[in-house]
Amino acid sequence: MKESKNTGVYICSGCNIGDAIDTDKLQSIAIEYPSVKQCQVHPVLCSPEAYLKLNDEINEQQLDSLIIAGCSPRHAPDSLKFSEVHSESVNLREGVAWVMEAGHEDTQAAAEDYLRMGIARTAASGLPEPYIPDAPESDILVLGGGITGIHSALEGARAGYSVVLVEKEDKLGGRLNNMHDIIPASGSKQTNLKFFLEEKLEELDASTLITVHKNTSLESIEGEPGKFLAKLKNGKGASECKVGSVILANGWKPYDPAKLTNLGYTDHKNIITQVELETMQKEDRILRPSDGNVPSTIVFIQCAGSRDKDHLPYCSNVCCLTSLKQVSYIRQKYPESRIFIIYKDIRTPGKNEHIYREVQKDNHVFFTKGRVDRIEKLENDSLRMIVEDNLLGETISIRADLVVAATGMEPNQSDDLHLLYRKGEGLPDRKYGFPDSHFICFPYETQRTGIYAAGAVRTPQGIQACMEDAGGAVVKAIQCIESTKRGEAVHPRSGDKSYPDLYMQRCTDCKRCTEECPFGSYDETEKGTPLPNPARCRRCGICMGSCPERIINFDNYSIHAISSMIKSIPIPDEFEEKPRVLAFVCENDAYPAFDLAALHRHRISPWLRIIPVRCIGSINKIWLSDALSAGYDGILQIGCKPGEDYQCHFITGSELMKTRSENIQETLQTMMLEPERIETVFLEIDEYHRIPEIIDDYMETIEDIGPNPFKDM
């Protein structure tokens, strides 16, 4: 870390800051600090003239750090970004001038406190020196040689990256090998599967950048982005490959129809699955398994397993379309056939509606909204379906020669990765076995850095979507490789060069960092000591928050730096009746919410002091006891929503804060303090209108319980 010893403090008086705050007073406070070499007030710090001046002064005064005291760091323009020196923001505009009464002594006190905090933090921080693994690798490993894997390999190679493709079977193509044709993709006419697959395999063969390992199992993966070591095994023996990132494309399996007891799949020969029908179609004939005759009445049962809380609670997305595709084939091949489709809802989103409409026109195809109650065996192995017809409101019976169960898609296990990680072999599954961590906004992200899931293992989807997924996963894999080479973090703190540094001499092997890191960054040595893998790290600081020995720190975000901020300000004694509340505010959503409140000039109590944190999971207990010992009357921890629909950018950070609160209450008890002294608030970014009320309510609580007895001690 480059330390900060020569700091320049630049205070902006524009945007009403100068009207609300005595900036000259701030200047006189700043220059008293030995680390501050220079302090100036500028009327418009974001102007081009100010930029030139600042740039000159950095060089002339040999400044190693800057404090920009003006608007919120979220608003600061490009002209105030200096990458070669450490820089901190003091938010005088959204944090003070816009939300507090102009000219009031409490407003001035808030501004002075924030400046002191900024100076204290800067003195304890520096420009981070990045972590770059030795000779990072650029190759991509793809696990799974189905359509997603094949397409991933092709896309990676087309972008100039070497790809290692591992498939456990003796040929590539996966489930496509047993399929007859493709559902016409929206806007695309290519449905000839044979041609489609052959074309891809030819390109694969011709590429010099792709190495294919068939009949090969992936034994293990160890290491970190840029430095993964994969061990492979096949009939000829074991081999190794070094890669920068990994794509998991091990696909799906049909839901086991034997589990659908109401259908009696194992009892009846003439019940088959959609996948089995597809295999028959590939032979270009549909025959009853019992006698090899052509069936004349075929019944399709949709949602056989899907949309069912006892089986697959989700919709498998492709079964409606697949059945319609298969029905079209059968009707063309066997013009005398009659077909019933028993469904809950026919789901053909987008332009697929045209496919549905075509089938609806066929008067040999009957759509029945309902549910199969039971299936009885008739002579000849034919079947009688007893169906509750929702539209007619009665139970109907259909005689079927063949029944096709549209069983849904189940993701294969991500444990196939065999990660030699302390936290497990696979990707943590967030819901129903799917491994993606933010499926609306950032669908390719998982909780294992540098490992991206694509295709049907990520979410139930068809061929077209799987190929798009392949492209997306390759983009993410390339990003990770390139970011690792620069020593930068990937999503969500893309570009961050800081990383956690551990002072191992004081480590007690308590393993909390190992346990609590949402990304499995920490392994363990044989002796059980945490073994950090910085390239796996997303820089959230949750490990820093978890460490009871306080040995985990970032160059620009450390236990010491935040503690210094807490201790840097004067706390009024109880007779002044000016309480102080410290708020740790998550910089992802809550801090922007404070900015938005300021944009509306909502009034916020001048007794509040905010410290932005990377995640509320990064709050270390020592900061709480430091604050209470220093005499703050209360502490708020404001972060993103936890729970099933979590909004935490680091997945489990705010959830952890919920579980850590027991420890926190213990701290309060040992200090003989009321439980209300520390409260956690979960705030969504658009709830900024609630902020003044949240703060005021808490101030009332503090007033009720009275001042912190540690004041003046």
Residues 314-333 that bind other proteins (CB under 8 A): 314-317
Sequence-distant (≥ 6) Cβ neighbours of residue 444 within 8 angstroms: 436, 452, 453, 454, 458, 469, 472, 473, 475, 476
Nearest CB to other proteins, comparing residues 13 and 35: 13
- The single residue among 434, 522, 650, 682 that binds other proteins, judged by CB under 8 A, is 434
C-beta of 483: minimal distance to other proteins in Å? Answer: 7
C-beta of 640: minimal distance to other proteins in Å? Answer: 8
Sequence-distant (≥ 6) Cβ neighbours of residue 296 within 8 angstroms: 334, 336, 337, 338, 401
The residue type at 534:
P
Which of the ranges 137-145, 226-234, 351-359, 630-638 carries the binding residues for other proteins, by CB under 8 A? 351-359
Determine the 3-state secondary structure of 64 from DSSP: coil
Task: Give the Cα separation of 102 and 89 in Å (integer).
Answer: 21
Residues 287-316 that bind other proteins (CB under 8 A): 306-307, 309, 313-316
C-beta of 184: minimal distance to other proteins in Å? Answer: 11
- The single residue among 16, 220, 629, 665 that binds other proteins, judged by CB under 8 A, is 16
8 A C-beta contact, residue 142 and residue 247? yes
Q: Is residue 507 a contact residue for other proteins (CB under 8 A)?
A: no
String marking each residue 187-226 x if it binds other proteins according to CB under 8 A: xxx-------------------------------------
Nearest CB to other proteins, comparing residues 333 and 689: 689
Question: Around Cβ 402, how many Cβ atoms within 10 Å?
Answer: 29
- The single residue among 101, 202, 509, 686 that binds other proteins, judged by CB under 8 A, is 686
271 to 122, 260, 366, 416, 651: CA distances (angstroms) = 71, 12, 19, 31, 43
Question: Around Cβ 219, how many Cβ atoms within 10 Å?
Answer: 14
Q: Is residue 283 a contact residue for other proteins (CB under 8 A)?
A: no
Determine the 3-state secondary structure of 325 from DSSP: helix
- The single residue among 649, 660, 677, 711 that binds other proteins, judged by CB under 8 A, is 649
Q: Is residue 109 a contact residue for other proteins (CB under 8 A)?
A: no
What does the angle CA 116 – CA 121 – CA 126 come to, to the nearest 5 degrees?
140
C-beta of 621: minimal distance to other proteins in Å? Answer: 28
- The single residue among 264, 289, 471, 709 that binds other proteins, judged by CB under 8 A, is 471
Nearest CB to other proteins, comparing residues 288 and 325: 325
Secondary structure letter of residue 493 according to DSSP: S
122 to 3, 68, 568, 632, 692: CA distances (angstroms) = 9, 11, 12, 22, 29
Helix, strand, coil percent content, the chain, rounded in steps of 5: 35, 25, 40
Which of the ranges 9-17, 498-506, 526-534, 570-578 carries the binding residues for other proteins, by CB under 8 A? 9-17
C-beta of 369: minimal distance to other proteins in Å? Answer: 8
Q: Is residue 474 a contact residue for other proteins (CB under 8 A)?
A: yes
Residues 580-639 that bind other proteins (CB under 8 A): 588-589, 592, 596, 599-600
Question: Around Cβ 187, how many Cβ atoms within 10 Å?
Answer: 8
Task: Give the Cα separation of 671 and 319 in Å (integer).
Answer: 61
String marking each residue 26-45 x if it binds other proteins according to CB under 8 A: ------------------x-
Task: Give the Cα separation of 621 and 41 in Å (integer).
Answer: 37
Residues 389-418 that bind other proteins (CB under 8 A): 390-391, 393
C-beta of 347: minimal distance to other proteins in Å? Answer: 5
Which of the ranges 20-28, 380-388, 442-450, 691-699 carries the binding residues for other proteins, by CB under 8 A? 442-450
- The single residue among 25, 104, 158, 171 that binds other proteins, judged by CB under 8 A, is 158
Nearest CB to other proteins, comparing residues 285 and 689: 689
- What kind and span of H or E run contains 145? none
- The single residue among 46, 406, 581, 610 that binds other proteins, judged by CB under 8 A, is 46
- The single residue among 426, 462, 492, 617 that binds other proteins, judged by CB under 8 A, is 492
Nearest CB to other proteins, comparing residues 34 and 393: 393
The residue type at 334:
Y
Instruction: Give the strands of the sheet with 271-273, arranged side by side.
Output: 271-273, 402-407, 297-304, 338-343, 365-377, 383-389, 394-400
Q: Is residue 641 a contact residue for other proteins (CB under 8 A)?
A: yes
How many residues interact with other proteins (rule CB under 8 A)? 90
Which of the ranges 176-184, 191-199, 379-387, 678-686 carries the binding residues for other proteins, by CB under 8 A? 678-686
Nearest CB to other proteins, comparing residues 176 and 409: 409
Cis peptide before 428 (omega within 30 of 0): no
What does the angle CA 68 – CA 73 – CA 74 come to, to the nearest 5 degrees?
155
- The single residue among 475, 507, 510, 699 that binds other proteins, judged by CB under 8 A, is 475
String marking each residue 353-382 x if it binds other proteins according to CB under 8 A: xx--x-----------x-------------
Nearest CB to other proteins, comparing residues 37 and 649: 649
Nearest CB to other proteins, comparing residues 371 and 621: 371
Nearest CB to other proteins, comparing residues 188 and 670: 188
Task: Give the Cα separation of 613 and 54 in Å (integer).
Answer: 27
Task: Give the Cα separation of 344 and 366 in Å (integer).
Answer: 14
Q: Is residue 19 a contact residue for other proteins (CB under 8 A)?
A: no
Strands 409-411 and 402-407: unpaired
Q: Is residue 556 a contact residue for other proteins (CB under 8 A)?
A: no
Residues 48-107 that bind other proteins (CB under 8 A): 71, 74-75, 77
412 to 144, 454, 458, 472: CA distances (angstroms) = 11, 12, 9, 20
Nearest CB to other proteins, comparing residues 74 and 269: 74
Q: Is residue 654 a contact residue for other proteins (CB under 8 A)?
A: no
Which one, of 147, 168, 177, lies nearest residue 279 by Cα? Answer: 177
Which one, of 210, 173, 170, lies nearest residue 195 by Cα? Answer: 173
